[in-house]
Structure 1
Amino acid sequence: MADPGSPIQAVSLPDASVMMPLLNDRRQAQPQDQTSQWQPVLRASHEAWHALNATLRYSYSNVLLVCVPLGIYAAEHGWNPAAVFTLNFLAMFPLASILTFSTEQLAAEFGSVIGGLINATFGNAVEMIVGISALKEGEISIVQSSMIGSILSSILLILGTSFFCVGVGKQTVDINIDIAGILTSLMIISCSSLIIPSALHIADQGSHDANHFANDYILNLSRTTSVILLIFYLLYLFFQSYTHSHLFTEEEEEDEQGDKLNTWSSSTVLILATLGVAVCSDYLVDSVDGFVEMLGVSRSFIGLIIVPIVGNAGCYVATVQWSRTGKINLAVSVIVGSTLQISLFVTPFLVIVGWIIGKDMSLHFDTFETIALTMSVLIVNCLVRDGQTNYFEGVLLIGTYVVIAIAFFVTPDSAITSVANLA
């Protein structure tokens, strides 16, 4: 027993962590286990929310996403063809924008060669999907017109608008003559290859068995030409991405977007957008006949003017923005590159697809379409090859496109068909 008069001695107690190890383990292990268990779910939820947020904020056209379910509902419940066509047409704008966004994200994740292949496959996915849908329905004339229309829209309307935007307030604007020369030469060669079957059919107009020639030899020539054009495009990708990549990376687009998606998020968005385009394009093509009858417009006008608006909407907005900030070389490269994708990849690809599914699509275009394409390519080549441009050249290109659009709007299909038959 301690002496009462002695000072109180401090009693040392064991550490609390030693006294109650089990209690601490229960208090700490439980939350850690729960957190580690839910981490993958939380991470996936965060990635999904980030992908959704970035996709919706990519373009103002996403406000039209409401037209996707409306267009499907209208088609399934028998609304009038004009409403079905209009709703699904409007629905294609945000879907095309989302396709562009996801394609850019995926291409940025891989190297230049793989990225080029991704852009080649999905950069014009809208045109390919709409073309395949029209092929399945036997709407070969709409497929052919949409291919010509997409090229005309790129080299006349979009390029003209870019020249106008960059040239306002300036005497002249310099263009990289090396890139312009290479791309315009490729454009002339590719478009010339496209119209050779049509020119051969016109040259055979005096033959007694012209119908047999058109239905047999022209078809075989078109398929052979399509295979050659696809080989040309693969070599062009190799040229652009590997052997002469320095020519195409002289001026790169500044990274203005902070939103970046990982590979899985980009792939998911791409797949969903592709499915949406496929569904809406089917309903769009199915309603063409009723739309033509109700409004009295020609089918050639729909294929040449209306359908390309959807596929080129994203390119139009992007190139105009680049031109306004002075990036005219980048705009010209993208515009002519898109034209090469249509002429060297999408069009021959659709000919091969038609061959596989038993739909005889050839490269025999209408005479007026062939003339319009030839003159437009020559005009663009003359304007670009000198390495300079101004706003007036842009006005000339836009005016040429408007004249062609009016010509197809006022000309009925019967007149175009009769001219083609006479040829």
Structure 2
Amino acid sequence: MNKILYSLLIFIPISVAAHFLDWGSATIFITAGLGIVPLAAIMGNATEEITVVVGPNLGGLLNATFGNATELIIALVALNGGLIEVVKATITGSIISNLLLVMGFSMLLGGLRFKEQDFQPTAARMNASVMNLAVISLLVPTAVQYTSSGIEESLLQTLSIAVAIVLILVYVLTLLFSMKTHAYLYDVSVADLESDEEGEGEETHEKPNIWLWIGVLLVVTLFVALESELLVDSLEEATSALGLTALFTGVILLPIIGNAAEHATAVTVAMKNKMDLSVSVAVGSSLQIALFVAPVLVIAGLFLGQPMDLNFNPFELVAVMIAVLVANSVSSDGKSNWLEGGLLLATYTILGFAFFFHPVVEGLVG
């Protein structure tokens, strides 16, 4: 799987050439998107290598922080470019794709190889409760806007900042819960990851060069920022040329690009009957988006001169609520099979069609 991902590195120079040689916005958009995929995989590998040196506690924090670094960089570049509604669409799209697409493929392909797979139900229920809080937090500013006549934008912005601060505090509490006070609930996932690495015949890590991997992480981050700049700059013209709306691009395409490496990891470990780790990757990524990435973008908007609030497109919130409802109902018993994976994918497909045919919202592209 890594060989396939790394082969996509060829699209990085192609996207740069497409930009300078003016090969067209659609070509730049597609090649830049494909170039980001292997960079996200390398970023994940670098974080894992650093974790070996710094230990599980600090390593867990690094994994949590860099778990969605690619999506955060893409969103920051788009936010700086004034594409605020596209950024919001990317937030909701990332949550939806992780809960339905990633977990769906994992349960489907894992279930085709193993009749029934088990994972930690207590952790799943806890994550479901936190996810419900996150959805409520995203829903409240939109509800206030739609139930108030003539609410000032500054008030909505202030409310969003207050909600963002609460979400970040909750994110810190979830890290404390999962890595310190109740770490035993998540030990199975860690054991799965370790045994998975051993099962692939990899040599044990004696002592990774931490400075080398920190350097790799910094260089890859710069390349992700470069490719994100090309991706975002070409987005408006490319989506028009490809016959896509910015809403569909933000909710469906950009999250798939940013999450591709994580998607591959979750599906691969599920097919090795390590559903604990697979579910942890899918649900954990959604929680990071809702509790960390979204609030950070709201606060970052103040410093970038692009004020962003948490007033989302109502249909996006409906889609997120559907995703959370279906994912929670499927994962609550701690067991999965291929049919449940198929149901998650069917839900994602229906929502995908809905976003594809959803009329263009005025001002979506800034």
With the shorter chain as reference, the TM-score category is: over 0.9
- Give the Cα separation in 2 of the matches to 1:236 and 1:319: 21
The equivalent residue for 2:171 is 233
Q: What is the aligned partner in structure 2 of residue 334 from structure 1?
A: 281
1:73 deviation in Å?
A: 1.9
CA displacement at 1:349 relative to structure 2 = 0.6
Shift of 1:172: 3.8
Which position in structure 1 is the counterpart of 2:258?
311
Return the alpha-carbon distance in structure 1 between the equivalents of residues 127 and 290 of structure 2.
13
- Partner residue of 1:92 out of 36, 43, 59: 36
Structure 2 CA distance, aligned partners of 1:80 and 1:239? 49
Please name the residue that 2:226 is paired with: 279
The aligned residue for residue 164 of structure 1 is: 108
1: distance between equivalents of 2:331 and 2:45? Answer: 29
1:294 aligns with 2:241: yes
Q: How does 1:382-401 map to 2 (within 5 A)?
A: 382-401=329-348
Equivalent of 1:346, from 293, 296, 319?
293
Give the C-alpha shift of residue 411 in structure 1: 2.1
State the distance in 2 between where 1:219 and 1:384 align. Answer: 35
- Are the aligned partners of 2:247 and 2:360 in contact in 1 as well (CA < 8 Å)? yes
3-state SS in 2 of match to 1:364:
coil
What is the identity, as a one-letter code, of the residue corresponding to 1:400? T
> 2:301·2:308 contact (CA, 8 Å) conserved in 1?
yes
Equivalent-residue separation in structure 2 for 1:416 and 1:164 (angstroms): 38
2:326 — aligned with what? 379
Deviations 1:318-358 (A, max 9, x none): 11111111111121122111111111111111111011211
1:115 and 2:59 equivalent? yes
Q: Does residue 146 of the first structure (1) align with residue 76 of the second (2)?
A: no
* Aligned pair partner of 2:21 in 65, 74, 77: 77
1:58: Cα distance to partner? 4.3
Aligned partners of 2:188 and 2:276 also within 8 Å: no
Map Cα deviations across residues 21-64 of structure 1 (whole Å, 9 max, x no partner): xxxxxxxxxxxxxxxxxxxxxxxxxxxxxxxxxxxx94421111
- One-letter amino acid matched to 2:352: A
Residue matched to 1:16: none
Q: CA deviation at 1:182?
A: 1.1
Is the contact between residue 135 and residue 359 of structure 1 (CA under 8 Å) also seen in structure 2?
A: yes
TM-score, normalized by length of structure 1? 0.80
Partner secondary structure for residue 326 of structure 1:
coil
Query: What amino acid maps onto 1:221 in structure 2?
Result: L
The Cα shift of 1:292 comes to: 2.0
Relative to structure 2, which stretch is displaced further, 85-94 or 57-66? 57-66
Deviation at 1:287, TM superposition (A): 0.3
Shift of 1:290: 1.0
Residue 85 of structure 1: how far off its partner (Å): 0.7
Amino acid paired to 2:59: G
For 1:310 and 1:388, locate their aligned partners in 2 and report how far apart those are by CA, in whole Å: 29
Measured after TM superposition, the shift of residue 230 of structure 1 is 0.8
Q: 1:10-21, aligned counterparts within 5 Å?
A: none
Measured after TM superposition, the shift of residue 170 of structure 1 is: 5.3
Deviation at 1:361, TM superposition (A): 0.8
Task: Identify the match of residue 246 of structure 1 among 184, 188, 197.
Answer: 184
Percent identity between matched residues is 36
Match 2:212 to one of 239, 256, 265? 265
Matched, 1:362 2:309: yes
| Displacement of 1:171 | 5.1
2:84 alignment partner AA:
I
- Of 393, 400, 408, the residue aligned with 2:355 is 408
**CA shift for structure 1 position 296:** 2.1
Q: Is the 8 A contact 2:106 2:266 kept in 1?
A: yes
CA deviations on 1:252-300 (whole Å, 9 max, x unpaired) are: 2112333753201211111111110000100110001111221221001
For residues 204 and 258 of structure 2, what CA distance do their matches in structure 1 show? Answer: 24
- Report deviation, 1:220: 0.9
How many correspondences in the alignment? 355
Structure 1 CA distance, aligned partners of 2:287 and 2:178?
12
Q: Tell me, yes or no, if the aligned pair for 2:104 and 2:340 is still in contact at 8 Å.
A: yes
| TM-score of the superposed pair, with normalisation by structure 2 | 0.92
Q: Flag the 1:81–1:169 CA change in 2: closer, same or farther, 3 A.
A: closer
Tell me the secondary structure at the aligned position of residue 310 of structure 2: coil
Residues 220-249 of structure 1, C-alpha deviations (whole Å, 9 max, x = no match): 111111111111111111111111111111
- Most deviating of 158-167 and 339-348: 158-167
Query: 2-side partners of 1:280 and 1:116: how far apart?
Result: 27
Q: Is the 8 A contact 2:120 2:185 kept in 1?
A: no
Deviation readout 1:357-414 (Å, 9 max, x if unpaired): 1111111110100111012111111121123222111111001101111111122313
Larger deviation: 128-137 or 245-254?
Answer: 245-254
RMSD: 1.8
Between the aligned partners of 1:179 and 1:366, the Cα distance in structure 2 is 31
Deviation, 1:164, is 1.2
Deviation at 1:108? 2.3
1:120 deviation in Å?
Answer: 2.5
Q: Confirm or deny: 8 A CA contact 2:94 2:289 kept in the other structure.
A: yes
How far has the Cα of 1:87 moved from its partner? 1.2
User: Against the structure 1 CA distance between its residues 83 and 169, is the aligned structure 2 distance closer, same or farther, given a 3 Å change threshold?
Assistant: closer
1:71-112 CA deviation, whole Å, 9 max, x = no partner?
112212322111111111111111111111111111222122
Instruction: After TM superposition, give the deviation of residue 118 of structure 1 in Å.
Output: 1.1
The amino acid across from 1:258 in the alignment is E
Offset, 1:127: 0.7
How far did 1:415 drift?
7.6
Q: Structure 1: 5+ residue runs without aligned partners?
A: 1-56, 418-423
Match of 1:217 in 2: 155
